[in-house]
Amino acid sequence: MADADRRYTSTVVVDGSDLSRHSGRWLTISWRPYMGDPQMKTMQLAGRSDIVAIGQGTWHMGERASERRREVAALREGIALGMNLIDTAEMYGDGGAEEVVGEAIAGLREQILLVSKVYPHHASRKAMPQACEQSLRRLGTDRIDLYLLHWQGQYPLAETIEAFERLRDAGKIRHWGVSNFDVNAMQELQGSACACNQVLYNLEQRGIDFDLLPWCRHEAIPVMAYCPVGQGMDLLHHAGLAAMAERHGASPAQIALAWLLSREVLAIPKAVSPGHLRENAAAASLDLSAEDLQELDQLFPAPRRKQPLAIV
């Protein structure tokens, strides 16, 4: 079979249990090769099937004018490497990150799946249209592909959904979703057009494996992981992870990212150096064996009881 015809199909296992045992809808993602690199895994998200499963995060971008040129160049380099999803938010750098993204995607807009997030205090019928317009202006575009509620706030979800749907009807956004939602909040969205739940998830912080990830898979709602390689350096300095990375001729970060892809979760690491960008992009074509995954489960066990949703 030619490389361009390869298909990758995986089954998620949570704490030793095949998620397909759950009744109802069951989402099986077929990993398709990215046309620019047939080894890079892609997934379906927000109406597109060509989204490379490792995107680009922008948290802390746009905070310092002295870093702007470097940040813009990093995002453009990431696009050139095939990472065609960019995630940002009106909160990041008080809108500065969206301005960085807008400059980076100028002339490249059609290649990108653009994700931004709205503050909870803007998640009302009255405030969301203005917040969206301001994000569109900073991003230099006429629509946001996936617009997320950053976390749940004071407004009823029904009102927020109505505001999202009005923006979609107006062509300002194409799809909407949420971030930092646990199972109880997601259940309020059951049967809605929610296109994604973005949460903190990595080898060290696997709380969503207990019930949130199974629930989202059952409801065919894709999960996107922020902080995918941890929040500090502890994970990347883990001796067991380093040993596995050495066996693969990879870095610990690449193993951590490849593990997320094995869970059928899209990852959005941030990088501003050329080396880290290449490292992240290469992780989209790294395959872990069943033995590797079993070893990682032993090194970083899945939770055996419900844990509070980790949020930063």
pLDDT of residue 270: 95
pTM of the model: 0.89
Residues whose CB is less than 8 angstroms from the CB of residue 44 and which lie 6 or more positions away in sequence, other chains included: 29, 51, 222
From the list 34, 92, 155, 201, the catalytic residue is 92
Residues whose CB is less than 8 angstroms from the CB of residue 96 and which lie 6 or more positions away in sequence, other chains included: 61, 62, 63
Structural domains in the chain, sorted by start = 3-299 (3.20.20.100)
Active site residue 92: yes
pLDDT of residue 18: 37
What is the greatest pairwise CA distance in the chain? 55
Q: Whose CA is closest to 86, among 108, 65, 55? A: 55
Separation of alpha carbons 30 and 45, rounded Å: 12
**Is 150 annotated as belonging to a binding site?**
yes
pLDDT tens for the chain, 312 residues long, are 333 333 333 333 333 333 333 333 434 444 455 556 768 999 999 999 999 999 999 999 999 999 999 999 999 999 999 999 999 999 999 999 999 999 999 999 999 999 999 999 999 999 999 999 999 999 999 999 999 999 999 999 999 999 999 999 999 999 999 999 999 999 999 999 999 999 999 999 999 999 999 999 999 999 999 999 998 779 999 999 999 999 999 999 999 999 999 999 999 999 999 999 999 999 999 999 999 999 999 999 999 999 999 999
pLDDT of residue 36: 60
